[in-house]
Structure 1
Amino acid sequence: MAAPTTTSGPRRTRTLRTDRWWLPPLGTALGLSAFVVYGLVRTFMNTWYWVPEQHYLAPFFSPCLSEACVPGASHLGTPFPDLAPWVPPPVFVLPFVLGFRLTCYYYRKAYYRAFWLSPPACAVTEPHRRYTGESRLPLLLQNAHRYFFYAAVLVAAVLTYDTVLAFHGVNGGVGVGLGTLLMVVNVVLLWGYTLSCHSCRHLVGGRINHFSRHPVRYRLWTWVSRLNGRHMSLAWASLFSVALVDLYVMLVASGAFPDPRLIN
């Protein structure tokens, strides 16, 4: 066995693990960082998010609630004024979506390990001398996860509506393109991630002492519990699908290539 590594001389052994335990947190850090960089760049580009011919709306800009939105992209009205170029439409919605992801139980584990090394992996000592848990700011805000869940449900419903509109034929009627299929996959993954949330599981089955007296809620709790076992996979899959669909709509809107049509 290789000699254990230490954090500061002979004070303590960091870990006895000899495998590449640092790869998962490194991969997580790179993946989340790439998404954050893409999200920031895409948000402040503030262009190429609406394809009128196919009724494609980029997920990062949905719902588009600002008067700065391009014509046709505001499916739910424009209650917010056009404040300034540095206040693009996603600013009014993305904080709630990001709040849901940031306070998610899985993502807490992911970025605590990847960025704060708290701890970086199982059986690996973290470098922090004190542990305060989530008992003070800003981590005290993690308890707001259940409220962000309600906002995430509304956003998922809006994205579902956007997907229905995407079944629009170029020449009228019903049409299906590659973008339509990608949007369908995206909303399925988003609903899977949202409904597999621990808050959803508690909402449908919490505070029940006898499941036999609540058969409907028991069935819902059982279904959500099965989804909950795949929460990590759905978290990453939905994160990737949102970025992919947003990038696809941006490329089609910019004229980089036409949307391949399957029907009409």
Structure 2
Amino acid sequence: MQMSAPPTTGRARLSVRTLRTDRWWLPPLVTFLALFAFVVYGSIRAFMNEWYWVPEYHYLAPFYSPCLGAACVPGSSHWGQPLPDLGPLVPPPLFVLPFVLGFRLTCYYYRKAYYRAFWVSPPACAVAEPHARYSGERRFPLVLQNVHRYFFYAALLVAAILTYDTVIAFRGADGGFGIGLGTVLMVVNVVLLWAYTLSCHSCRHLVGGKLRHFSKHPVRYWLWSKATWLNGKHMLLAWSSLISVAAVDVYVMLVAAGVFSDPRLIN
């Protein structure tokens, strides 16, 4: 004889926020500090509008790539200057950063990171959130998270442009071939950026989604399997690429400002 389940009265009511005794608050705190530091640095850097181009070695800071405004210093605009100089309140990075930040902000991992760290929604597993209601991502502005797939295409373009910047950075002091520490850092950065971009859930869906039979599409299945493997490392790639972008930007800024010279490995 099957016993019927006893009636329930809803969630268990606890007098404390959580029964967890570990430092559950530490991961969201670290995430908050790291993301906040990046936002502060990026905001300051975008409005500095200087020290982003090293003409001797063709180093272009990633925060200023591509430099499309008429205010860009000579030599830094590899793709022309189709956009006008709108003054100090609208520096060249503001033409491109919205697309780059849009891709990161709508990323599935970053949603989890800043939802927990900034909105404490929820701050950790088995910890109650302070919000009385939750409407998901069905209303404005969170409904805009659904445009992530379109920002993915912009991210592919930006990654390709940064790859071009890296290729032309193989330049020596005499104009020939050369490799410096900045070149190595830029190579590492574009590798991490490509890995992060291609590990995106939208990329995985693009190459393998809507297929009923993988056996009939061996090439797409191979691409999907590689994207799936990368997707398993999405969090690691998200943080490492974020750090590498900031590190290269800081490095180019210091070299361009004359704080130190670029150590040359070849020429």
- TM-score, structure 1 as length reference: 0.95
Secondary structure in 2 matching 1:142: helix
1:86 alignment partner AA: L
* Equivalent runs, 1:22-171 vs 2, <5 Å: 22-171=25-174
* Equivalent runs, 1:225-240 vs 2, <5 Å: 225-240=228-243
Match of 2:184 among 181, 187, 209: 181
Aligned-pair distance for 1:86? 1.2
- Name the counterpart of 1:5: none
Aligned-pair distance for 1:15? 1.0
Distance 1:30 1:137 in 2: 26
1:34 alignment partner AA: A
Distance 1:34 1:166 in 2: 28
The aligned length equals 255
- Structure of greater Rg: 2
Pairing 1:21–2:38 present? no
Distance 1:236 1:122 in 2: 21
Q: Percent identity?
A: 76
Q: Deviations over 1:216-253 (max 9, x none)?
A: 00000000000000000000000000000000000000
Distance 1:236 1:137 in 2: 27
Distance 2:15 2:146 in 1: 34
- Name the counterpart of 1:219: 222
Match of 1:190 among 190, 193, 199: 193
Q: Deviations over 1:27-46 (max 9, x none)?
A: 00000000000000101000
2:143 alignment partner AA: L
Aligned-pair distance for 1:11? 6.8
Aligned-pair distance for 1:13? 3.2
Distance 2:124 2:164 in 1: 40
1:13 alignment partner AA: V
Distance 1:11 1:173 in 2: 70
Match of 1:251 among 251, 254, 262: 254
Distance 1:74 1:113 in 2: 39
Gaps of 5+ in 1: 1-9
- TM-score, structure 2 as length reference: 0.94
Distance 1:49 1:207 in 2: 43
Secondary structure in 2 matching 1:262: strand
Aligned-pair distance for 1:173? 1.3
Distance 1:74 1:32 in 2: 29
Aligned-pair distance for 1:76? 0.4
Distance 2:108 2:77 in 1: 33
Gaps of 5+ in 2: 1-12
Secondary structure in 2 matching 1:15: coil
Question: Where do 4+ consecutive residues of structure 1 move more than 3 Å?
Answer: 10-13
